[in-house]
Structure 1
Amino acid sequence: MTSKDVSTHYETLNCNENATKEEIRNQFKKLALQTHPDKSDSKTSCEDFHRIDYALKVLATDESRRQYDCQLIDDRSYDRIINQEITINDMILIDDTYSIDCCCGGSYLISIDDFSQLSSVESPQESLIIDCNSCSLSVKLGKT
């Protein structure tokens, strides 16, 4: 494992972004045993261990994990071409899915459940990026 092999704290700990705290801690323990400088002869074990330890510190508390997840979302949205900014009022509800047409003829789709998570008072997100189902364009859906 080198820093070039991973790009997120989740990848550092070999777990997915929906992992529970227990799953994250279990992965940390497993990797810590493999990379701890006292347990490994690898020249990069110290560096790897510190990276794993830092990933756990970020993901271990709800607040720091929430902030980290928001930063991941922001970082990923820069890779997309935002065609326009919209609100839920611009979309049409059809069978539990909100939809708006894209200029390519495709559609931007979001389920009621996904929108409910965005509009939740507890949600730290102010917007959500929705990709077109036919092209590389995206729209930014605001909370209001």
Structure 2
Amino acid sequence: MNNEQLTALVRQLSLTFFATSFSHQAYFNPRLRTTGGRYMLATHHIEVNPKIYENYGEEELSNVIKHELCHYHLHLANLGYQHRDADFKQLAKQVGAPRFCQPLTPREYEHNYKCESCSTSYQRQRKIDTTRYRCGRCKGKIKKIE
């Protein structure tokens, strides 16, 4: 899929779910790393992470586009377009736009810990000091698992 096809898809989804047209551009931005897409306030363009389409297909891509179109249409209507605003939450629920996209890269945990008392396991990316921290469930000692 190229940028012209993406813009056509955004226009089609805008008419289908929002009953108004999308008159700006949508394009893939490979520099996006942690987000599925973003709406640009200054230019009203929509940028989409190409990894969403590559990893999850067109269905997840349309979910990201619907989310960004919520920002787009609410901003142009001078309504609450931010995630915390009631207008945004209501419109996103109405059109079935998800609050978050699927994770782009699977999390890899380097450090595994286990409580000696209740056997609760903890996975962490960073190393923790087992002499300083205790189990959050039972306050037992935490031991590193190799």
TM-score normalised per structure 2 = 0.23
* Structure whose residues are more often strand by fraction: 1
Greater Rg, structure 1 or structure 2? 2
* Structure whose residues are more often helix by fraction: 1
Higher relative contact order (CA 8 A, sep 6+): 1
TM-score normalised per structure 1 = 0.24
